[in-house]
């Protein structure tokens, strides 16, 4: 209440208690399976098939997902999530030579798979587009075509020390050099290069420059001695130190001594960075090999920019030489995975469980169950169904191609008894651009997911995605024609049939869940009723988060009834429920009858929401009677 101090009118604003509940999306489709490229085991959102082509490589004959995604967007889909699943992941990489003929630049493909094996790398060092000719260069990514010609995909990308190419190259870094095992002894750090871990210096018998030889090989052929010094040392002291171990070097037959000095980023006095310096003429290096202090008595460091170092300015000798169309040094791999790869692991969030990191998805498609070896799909479908039940999503199951009309009913009842799943028969046939536009039988889930999205956008989630309006765009034909009698044999078993009619073309002609067999008489027999319930559950779950920790009494209950009632009334006005009035269509109950004193003592508020769903007119009976005429 406002504080009043003088006669007059005071304005006080008071909250209305109205908290608008927004309906969630209903047709975000998740596709799980093998794609040509892309980051594995991560749900990536896309909004068009062009996004899929850029990020996942487009159509691929070994990727049923690629065809399903194209059909999804062709039939009206607008939002999708792609989870790439591959087995035997391996990245394509290139090692480029420097002026000293050593590997100085490592280029790695953005994602594992064979897709990058046809890429070629070109390095330009003398180009007018270079910003800084002393430190930068142009990296050009090209693709080798089947006719052995090269088509440039990305040109004149100006690169420095750690650049990135968003479409093709994940990172460009210095190649790793020798592993160095470091021991801190008596104020000096002795390191042996090219040695095994078991060859580490024994701290119980610390070495000294005068009586101990610490040797190794850099390339398994050339003897080598490395002595890093952790503090700035005047060059006169360094020379004294080196000369004091000349005898030991001669006895070991070492070719040279490399001294690691602590330096700054500009090559000056040190701040925890080590750079290599050799007494042998021409072996100087300005590449920082490590950053920061060594930890404890022992630590392992690696040489090179890839391992946290930094290339100093004007280090021209460590820039890659000019090259044209360099082939990959390491070929990538990433084959189509099996059932275990598709399922993945909840702990690692791989396979279908990559979707655990997603805020919301409504439809799940796994087209690879369509052409799996016999019986292998039995492991995937239950796991995918359980995930959908936990996340309030709906699974469009792809039955195997091998099934005949007489087998699909028994397979459906054995595969799943879930209200959150539906299956369709027969498969669809589409024109394959990768096979001279010849027809190809494919899983129908992508096409149906698009039909679901189109129906939701035009009519609402409470409308069955079936009927003459549910046309299958992009479908040339059906793998098997089904007539009325055959349709009548499998529809009562919970199998949705795809039909072809003269005037309408290919359409979806069924709207039952896999719990929709007549013998089960389930209340969620029909797809639109189940999906409407999931939509209401998810919307109310997200829209009532504000209730948590509010005082649990009549004012809160009244606000709940007001807000939930307004949301349900909005659906009623759109035609989502049956009934002429709100009382006939839905109810929202939250009062002292639903929430007893015992519940309030436990911190519980109970809300009851009920609705009268619109069941689809699956069977239309028209009675015709002949009038005999006027009998009077």
Burial call 471-493: b when 16+ CB within 10 Å, e when fewer: bbebbeebeeebeeeebeebbeb
User: What is the structure's pLDDT at 578?
Assistant: 92
| CA–CA distances in Å: residue 146 to residues 150, 201, 332, 600 | 9, 55, 18, 72
Give the separation between CA 287 and CA 100, rounded to whole angstroms. Answer: 14
- DSSP string spanning 356-369? GG-S---EEE-GGG
Q: Are 162 and 171 in contact (CB under 8 A)?
A: yes
pLDDT of 47 strictly over 60: yes
Region 85-90: mean pLDDT is 91
- The share of the chain scoring above pLDDT 90, in percent, equals 53
Report which listed range, 15-24, 256-265, 304-313, 534-543, is most confident: 534-543
Distance CA 62, CA 59 (A): 9
Is the pLDDT higher at 91 or at 352? 352
Quick one: which H or E segment has residue 600? helix 597-601
- Give the chain's mean pLDDT: 76
* Residue from 178, 127, 134, 119 nearest 156 by CA: 127
Query: How sure is the predictor about 183, in pLDDT bands with cuts at 50, 70 and 90?
Result: very low
Residue 509 has pLDDT above 50, yes or no: yes
Least confident of 2-11, 250-259, 293-302: 293-302
Residue 260 pLDDT = 45
Residue 293 DSSP symbol = P
| 35-64 mean pLDDT | 93
Distance CA(617)–CA(627), nearest Å, equals: 28
The mean pLDDT value for 224-240 works out to 43
Give the single-character DSSP code of 434: G
Note the helical H segments in 427-553.
Answer: 445-458, 484-490, 527-543
Q: Residue 375 — very low, low, confident or very high, per pLDDT cuts 50/70/90?
A: confident
Percentage above 70 pLDDT, the chain: 69
Rounded to an integer, what distance in angstroms lies between the CA atom of residue 433 and that of residue 497? 27
pTM over the 0.85 mark: no
Q: Which residues pair with 11 in a beta bridge?
A: none
**Lookup: tokens for 594:** 């639903």
Helix axes 64-74, 49-56, angle to 10 degrees: 160
pLDDT for position 148: 62
Is the CB of residue 367 less than 8 Å from the CB of residue 443? yes
Which stretch of 163-167, 369-373, 465-469, 594-598 has the lowest confidence by average pLDDT? Answer: 163-167
Q: What is the mean pLDDT of residues 258-270?
A: 44
C-alpha span between 337 and 87 (Å, rounded): 5
Strands (E), 357-426: 363-365, 394-397, 421-425
Cα separation of 497 and 494, whole Å? 10
Q: What span, in angstroms and rounded, lies between the C-alpha atoms of 465 and 71? A: 16
pLDDT of residue 530 exceeding 90: yes
pLDDT at 181 over 60: no
């Amino acid at each position: 209440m406002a504080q009043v101090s003088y006669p007059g009118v005071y304005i006080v604003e008071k909250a209305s208690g109205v908290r608008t509940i927004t309906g969630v999306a209903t047709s975000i489709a998740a596709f799980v399976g093998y794609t040509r490229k892309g980051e594995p085991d991560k749900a990536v959102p896309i909004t068009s098939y062009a996004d899929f082509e850029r990020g996942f490589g487009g159509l691929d004959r070994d990727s049923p997902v690629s065809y399903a995604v194209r059909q999804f967007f062709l039939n009206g889909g607008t939002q999708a999530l792609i989870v790439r699943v591959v087995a035997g992941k391996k990245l394509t990489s290139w090692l480029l030579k420097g002026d000293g003929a050593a590997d100085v630049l490592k280029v790695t493909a953005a994602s594992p798979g064979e897709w990058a094996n046809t890429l070629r790398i070109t390095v330009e060092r003398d180009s007018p587009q270079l910003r800084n000719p002393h430190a930068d260069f142009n990296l050009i990514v090209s693709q080798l075509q089947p006719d052995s010609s090269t088509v440039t995909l990305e040109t004149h990308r100006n690169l420095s020390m750690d650049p990135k190419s968003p479409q093709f190259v994940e990172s460009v870094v210095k190649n790793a050099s020798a592993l160095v095992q470091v021991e801190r002894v008596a104020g000096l750090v002795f390191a042996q290069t090219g040695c095994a871990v078991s060859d580490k210096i024994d701290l119980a018998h610390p070495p000294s420059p005068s009586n101990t030889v610490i040797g190794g090989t850099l390339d398994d052929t050339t003897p080598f001695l490395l002595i890093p010094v952790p503090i700035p040392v005047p060059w006169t002291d360094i020379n004294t130190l080196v000369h004091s171990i000349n005898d030991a070097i001669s006895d070991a037959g070492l070719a040279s001594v490399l001294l690691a000095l602590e330096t700054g980023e500009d090559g000056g006095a040190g701040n925890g960075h080590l750079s290599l310096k050799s007494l042998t003429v021409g072996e100087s290096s300005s590449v920082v090999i490590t950053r920061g202090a060594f930890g404890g008595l022992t630590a392992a460091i690696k040489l090179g920019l890839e391992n946290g170092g930094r290339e100093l300015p004007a280090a021209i000798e460590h820039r890659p030489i000019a090259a044209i169309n360099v082939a990959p040094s390491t070929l990538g791999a990433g084959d189509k995975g099996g059932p275990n790869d598709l399922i993945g692991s909840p702990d690692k969030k791989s396979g279908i469980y990559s979707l655990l990191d997603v805020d919301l998805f409504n439809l799940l498609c796994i087209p690879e169950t369509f052409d799996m070896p016999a019986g292998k799909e039995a492991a995937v479908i239950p796991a995918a169904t359980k995930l959908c039940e936990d996340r309030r999503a709906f699974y469009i199951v792809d039955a195997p191609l091998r099934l005949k009309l007489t087998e699909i009913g028994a397979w459906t009842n054995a595969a799943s008894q879930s209200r959150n799943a539906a299956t369709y028969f027969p498969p669809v046939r589409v024109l394959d651009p990768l096979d001279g536009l010849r027809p190809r039988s494919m899983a129908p889930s992508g096409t149906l997911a698009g039909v679901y999205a189109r129906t939701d956008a035009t009519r609402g989630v409470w409308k069955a995605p079936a009927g003459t309006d549910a046309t299958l765009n992009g479908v040339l034909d059906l793998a098997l024609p089904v007539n009325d009698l055959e349709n009548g044999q499998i529809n009562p078993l919970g199998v949705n049939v795809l039909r072809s009619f003269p005037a309408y073309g290919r359409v979806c002609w069924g709207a039952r869940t896999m719990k929709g067999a007549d013998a089960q008489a389930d209340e969620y027999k029909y797809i639109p009723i189940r999906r409407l319930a999931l939509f209401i559950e998810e919307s109310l779950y997200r829209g009532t988060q504000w209730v948590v920790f509010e005082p649990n009494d009549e004012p809160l209950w009244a606000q709940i009834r007001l807000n939930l009632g307004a949301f349900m009334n909005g659906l009623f006005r759109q035609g989502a429920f049956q009934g002429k009035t709100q009382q006939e269509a839905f109810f929202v109950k939250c009062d002292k009858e639903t929430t007893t004193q015992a519940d309030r003592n436990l911190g519980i508020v109970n809300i009851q929401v009920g609705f009268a769903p619109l069941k689809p007119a699956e069977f239309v009976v028209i009675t015709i009677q002949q009038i005999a005429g006027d009998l009077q």
